[in-house]
Amino acid sequence: MEKTIVITSGKGGVGKTTSTANLGTGLAMAGKKVVLVDTDIGLRNLDVVLGLENRIVYDLVDVVEETCKLKQALIRDKRYEGLYLLPAAQTRNKMAVSPEQMKTLVEELEKEFDYVLIDCPAGIERGFKNAVAGARAAIVVTVPEVSSVRDADRIIGLLSSSGIEDVRLLINRLRPDLVRKGDMLAIDDTLEILGVDLIGVVPEDEMIFRSSNLGEPAVADDNSMAGKAYRNVTKRIMGEEVPIMDLEQGTGFFSKLKKLFSR
């Protein structure tokens, strides 16, 4: 996959920021030099999810307005070698930055880093345009639910008209039990509707609440299912072929029996 990736969704609250934090941390754990750019000016959150909120001095708008040098605004995560955050401004609005400025900024970052992950705000207005401006590929995050899938479709259309062709889908918060009962869109249903390639499926996992409470991405936690899923997505971003976790298969007696006979 291309190395400058925007993480977007259209709808809010589906896990863009959590995914950005986990994928960035995962890439850094794999030895890559990664910068995470929070483009949600006015509503920044990537800093708290990563546990770096107390270390912000300068932000994205300061860099664009040349109040500081780019290097001064980058926060190095001391826990993971090679992981950096460029935080969004909190007291400004999205109009403070233009898509052209973002493009220049991202090109600058590409010289220094192996991967540039851009966390996109919800919506399709200026914030989206800023986030997409410098990106060469996109990961669209959706939850298996009508409003989120609908918005994802809109975003996929907008990405292609912005010239981004490498678009992958990340299905987040899948509940295998509900899929089995027929009360949640299955992975294949969502893929059929949206018609894009899958980069991964992250199951609903209570550990995510814990990890954002603590500011420690779940990807580093060996006991977290979501963490494992994010580690797999990280590998796929780096070009490894990893099978999608078998989440929808039942674990009960009858499912096992069915599996036995369907072989």
Does residue 175 touch other proteins according to CB under 8 A?
Answer: no
Q: Quick one: which H or E segment has residue 8? A: strand 4-8
Q: Which of 50, 179, 199, 218 binds other proteins (CB under 8 A)?
A: 179
183 vs 241 by CB, closer to other proteins? 183
Does residue 143 touch other proteins according to CB under 8 A?
Answer: no
Does residue 163 touch other proteins according to CB under 8 A?
Answer: no
Q: What distance in Å separates the CA atoms of residue 80 and residue 19, rounded to the nearest whole number?
A: 17
Contact criterion met (CB below 8 Å) for 115 and 32: yes
DSSP 25: H
Choices 47-55, 64-72, 145-153, 204-212 (CB under 8 A): range interacting with other proteins:
145-153
Minimum Å gap between C-beta 160 and other proteins is 7
Does residue 184 touch other proteins according to CB under 8 A?
Answer: yes
Q: What distance in Å separates the CA atoms of residue 35 and residue 5, rounded to the nearest whole number?
A: 11
Minimum Å gap between C-beta 257 and other proteins is 22
Sheet of 137-142, strand order: 75-76, 83-86, 34-38, 115-119, 4-8, 137-142, 166-174, 197-203
Q: What distance in Å separates the CA atoms of residue 178 and residue 238, rounded to the nearest whole number?
A: 31
List beta partners, residue 81: none
Q: What distance in Å separates the CA atoms of residue 56 and residue 22, rounded to the nearest whole number?
A: 20
Minimum Å gap between C-beta 19 and other proteins is 22
Choices 62-70, 128-136, 142-150, 167-175 (CB under 8 A): range interacting with other proteins:
142-150
| Chain position carrying tokens 């290097």 | 71
Q: Amino acid letter at 103?
A: K
**How many Cβ atoms sit within 10 Å of the Cβ of residue 221?**
20
Does residue 183 touch other proteins according to CB under 8 A?
Answer: yes
Q: Which of 153, 166, 177, 248 binds other proteins (CB under 8 A)?
A: 153
241 vs 254 by CB, closer to other proteins? 254
Contacts for 126 with CB less than 8 Å, ≥ 6 apart: 94, 95
Does residue 185 touch other proteins according to CB under 8 A?
Answer: yes
134 vs 144 by CB, closer to other proteins? 144
5 vs 186 by CB, closer to other proteins? 186
Closest CA relative to residue 202, chosen from 222, 183, 187: 187
183 vs 222 by CB, closer to other proteins? 183
31 vs 157 by CB, closer to other proteins? 157
List contacts with other proteins (CB under 8 A).
145-146, 149-150, 153-154, 157-158, 160-161, 179, 181-186, 189, 192-193
